[in-house]
Amino acid sequence: MRGLLFQFEDLEVLATKLEEGGAERELEVPESASVREGEWVLATIAVGGNCTSVAACAIDRGDGIRIVFADRDWARLREFAQVGGPPSAPLPGSPQPISQLEPTAARVLIIDDDEGVRTVVCSVLENAGYRAAAVASAEEAFDTLRAGEVDLVVLDWCLPGMDGVSFCRRLRQDPRYRDTPVLLMSSHCSPCELTVALAAGADDFVGKPFRAPELGARILGLLRRSQLPPSRRG
């Protein structure tokens, strides 16, 4: 699934765009994006260091492509923009926005052949204080790993050439990266795939489309766990 980033200067601008979207529940595709009619995308709405991500569909209205959202996701976006009043209080146990998580200068390598997804994940992580680098293939990833230290890898399952699971197996065979945390992403999040990912050496698994708070919490959890003595990692 292609990633599509909608970046807004502030909540007021986002609120205005949502009002313009009206009953159709749609946003204009960014000028730099190339999206086909009928294509499903991972739409990330970002304001400063806060963002939310949902799946949405591209529709051709005759005067250009629009991204159309489901009713409940549109309602989420309106709440995110604080349209119609102050934001509701978070439910007990709700994940924090990634910008409110404990800051870190960890170096994160993103491996995904979709440029849009790379852009979205890098933006989310950099806004949270991480140092992010992104590549499009497993081969490029190994070059990056050899060139410098990486604290954590965010890896897509479906890659050209060597896929994510094969990359993970090969990574674990190298003593230098045996303990590097790996978060595997996939648009198919079945129990079978989860088992395969963990057996290959992944430390955690997240489905696409993901939500920024969940992604941030999983990355932070892996980094914290990697800093524990081996006897306490479980």
Residues 132 and 158 occupy one common structural domain: yes
**Among 15, 50, 80, where does a domain finish?**
80
Residues 67 and 104 occupy one common structural domain: no
State mean pLDDT over 78-84: 65
pLDDT given at position 167: 94
Residues 76 and 118 occupy one common structural domain: no
Task: Tell which residue, 136, 155, 120, has the closest CA to residue 33.
Answer: 120
Domain extent, residue 184, equals 98-232
Point out the least confidently predicted range of 52-56, 135-139, 166-170: 52-56
Q: With respect to residue 85, please indicate whether it lies within any of the assigned structural domains.
A: no
- Tell me the chain's radius of gyration from C-alpha atoms: 18
Calculate helix-pair angle for 164-173, 138-147, nearest 10 degrees: 30
Q: With respect to residue 39, please indicate whether it lies within any of the assigned structural domains.
A: yes
State pLDDT tens for residues 31-76: 777 777 777 777 888 776 677 777 778 888 777 788 888 777 787 7
Q: How many domains does the chain have?
A: 2
